[in-house]
Amino acid sequence: MARCDLCGNEYDKAFTVTQGNVTRTFDSFECAIHVMAPVCAHCGCRIVGHGIENRGVFYCCAHCAKTAGVAGVRDRAA
């Protein structure tokens, strides 16, 4: 059994995720998100969807990007 890199749980259904040259092992998507998902520069939430990147800075949504001064972004929310 493999051991989760975040919580240390040994699990027979653990999986690996490779990003660049780094491979990590997790027992759940929740643990993978906590370790690997980028953080929104405005609100601090983990970005699980596509998000928005501007000049190497990540935002979870157009609202956060606009609030941080990024021009020309929009989403479908009113």
Contacts of 15 (CB under 8 A, 6+ apart): 25, 26
- Residue 28: name the closest of 4, 2, 1 by CA: 4
**Which tens digits make up the pLDDT trace of 11-70?**
999 999 999 999 999 999 999 999 999 999 999 999 999 999 999 999 999 999 999 999
Predicted pLDDT of residue 76 = 73
The whole-number pLDDT of residue 77 equals 62
Q: Binning pLDDT at 50, 70 and 90, where does residue 74 land?
A: confident
Which residue type sits at 64? C
pLDDT tens profile 4-18: 999 999 999 999 999
Closest C-alpha among 74, 43, 40, 44 to residue 57: 40
